[in-house]
Chain A
Amino acid sequence: MHYVIIGNGVAGINAANRLRNLDDEAEITIISYESKHHFSRTALMYVFCGQLSEQCVEPFERDHYEKMGFKRIHNKVVSLDVLNKKLQLKNGQSLTYDKLLIASGSVPVMFDWKGADLEGVGNFVLWSDLEWLLEKAKTAKKAVVVGGGLIGIETAEILQLAGIQTTFLIRESHYWPVALDENEGTIVCDHMKEHGIDVRLKTEMQEILGDNGKVTGVKTSNGETIDADLVLIAIGVRPQTDWLADSGLNFDDRGGIIVDEQLQTNLENVYAAGDCTSVVWFNDVRRPEQLWYTSRDQGLVAGENLFGLEKNYKRGIFYNSAKFFDIEYTTAGYVNFNFEDEQNWYQKEEGKPYTVRVTYLPDKTVIGFNMLGRRWNHTILVQWIAEKRKLDWVLKHLNEANYDEELMSPFQVSGGIS
Chain B
Amino acid sequence: MQAGLLTTFKSPAKSRGYTAWILSVILFVFYILVYFTPIPDSWANAVGLNGKWQMYGVLYTLAMIIGGYFFLRKHGNSKYHKVRTWSVIFFQIVFAFSIPEIMGLFDSKGFNFAKFWPLGIEYLYPQYIFEYPLLIIVYAFVASLIAVPILTLLYGKRWYCSWMCGCGGLAETAGDSFRHLSDKKVKAWKFEQWSIYTVLFLALLTTALVIINWGLHFENEAGQWVTEFTTFDLIASKIQGTYQFIVVAMLSGVLGVGLYPLMGSRVWCRFFCPLAAIMGLVQKFGRFRITVKDDMCISCGNCSTYCEMGIDVRSYAQNNESFKRASCVGCGMCAHVCPRGVLKLENKWDFKQSSDKSKRPVFDL
Contact = CB atoms under 8 A, between A and B. Distances in A.
Interface of A: 10, 40, 42-43, 45-46, 49-53, 56-59, 61, 157-158, 161, 292-293, 297, 314, 316-317, 319, 321, 323, 325-326, 328, 330, 333-334, 367, 375-379, 382-383, 385-386, 388, 403, 405-409
A10 B299 contact: yes
A328 B5 CA distance: 17
B252 to A, nearest CB: 29
A330 B338 CA distance: 13
B302 A406 contact: no
Contacts of B10: 50
A119 to B, nearest CB: 25
B340 A328 contact: yes
A405 B332 contact: yes
Given A45-B1, A406-B332, A40 B8 contact: no
Contacts of B7: 49-50
B361 A382 contact: yes
A57 B302 CA distance: 8
B192 to A, nearest CB: 16
Contacts of B294: 379
A403 B322 CA distance: 14
Contact of A50 (B8, B296, B355, B365): B8
12 contacts: A43-B301, A49-B6, A52-B8, A53-B15, A61-B185, A377-B293, A379-B294, A383-B361, A403-B341, A406-B345, A406-B346, A408-B78
Given A42-B298, A46-B300, A51-B302, A407 B83 contact: yes
A56 B80 contact: no
Given A321-B340, A326-B3, 13 more contacts: A40-B300, A46-B1, A46-B300, A49-B1, A51-B1, A51-B2, A56-B9, A59-B318, A161-B6, A293-B295, A319-B295, A328-B340, A407-B80
B287 to A, nearest CB: 13
Contacts of A59: 299, 301, 314-315, 318
B247 to A, nearest CB: 31
A386 B363 contact: yes
B325 interface: no
Nearest to B295: A293
Nearest to A53: B9
Interface in B303-325: 304-305, 314-315, 318
Contacts of B300: 40, 42-43, 46, 52, 57
Closest 5 A/B residue pairs (Cβ): A386-B361, A375-B341, A43-B300, A50-B10, A316-B360
A326 B5 CA distance: 13
B217 interface: no
A52 B1 CA distance: 10
A334 B6 contact: no
B179 interface: no
Given A59-B314, A377-B293, A46 B361 contact: no
Interface string B99-140: 000000000000000000000000000000000000000000
Residue among A49, A376, A383 having the largest count of chain B Cβ atoms under 10 Å? A49
Contacts of A51: 1-2, 5-6, 8-9, 302
Nearest to B83: A407
A403 B78 contact: no
Nearest to B4: A51
Given A52-B301, A53-B15, A328 B339 contact: yes
A157 B301 contact: no
Nearest to A13: B299
B335 interface: yes
Contacts of A330: 341
Contacts of B222: none
A interface, over-half SS: mixed
Contact of B305 (A42, A56, A317, A321): A56
B284 interface: no
Interface in B334-348: 335-336, 339-341, 344-346
Contacts of B361: 316-317, 382-383, 385-386
- Interface-central residue, B185, B294, B299, by most chain A CB under 10 Å: B299
Given A57-B300, A378-B296, A317 B1 contact: no
Contacts of B360: 314, 316-317
Contacts of A321: 296, 340-341
Interface string B1-33: 111011111110001000000000000000000
Nearest to A339: B365
A406 B79 CA distance: 8
With most chain A CB atoms within 10 A of its CB, the pick from B15, B339, B346 is B339
A333 B5 CA distance: 34
Contacts of A157: 1
B186 interface: yes
Contacts of A56: 9, 301-302, 304-305
A367 B336 CA distance: 30
A83 B345 CA distance: 54
B146 interface: no
Contacts of A382: 361
B362 interface: yes
A394 B129 CA distance: 58
Nearest to B14: A50
A367 B299 contact: no
Nearest to B15: A53
A403 B344 CA distance: 7
B320 to A, nearest CB: 10
Contacts of A376: 341
B268 to A, nearest CB: 24
A405 B186 CA distance: 28
A50 B6 contact: yes
A57 B297 CA distance: 13
Nearest to A361: B365
B302 A407 contact: no
A317 B79 contact: no
A102 B339 CA distance: 29
Given A10-B299, A52-B301, A328-B339, A405 B9 contact: no
B1 A161 contact: yes
Contacts of B185: 61
Contacts of B336: 405
A58 B6 CA distance: 18
A292 B365 CA distance: 25
Contacts of B9: 50-53, 56
Contacts of B186: 61
A325 B3 CA distance: 10
B364 to A, nearest CB: 9
Contacts of A316: 360-362
Contacts of B339: 323, 328
B340 A158 contact: no
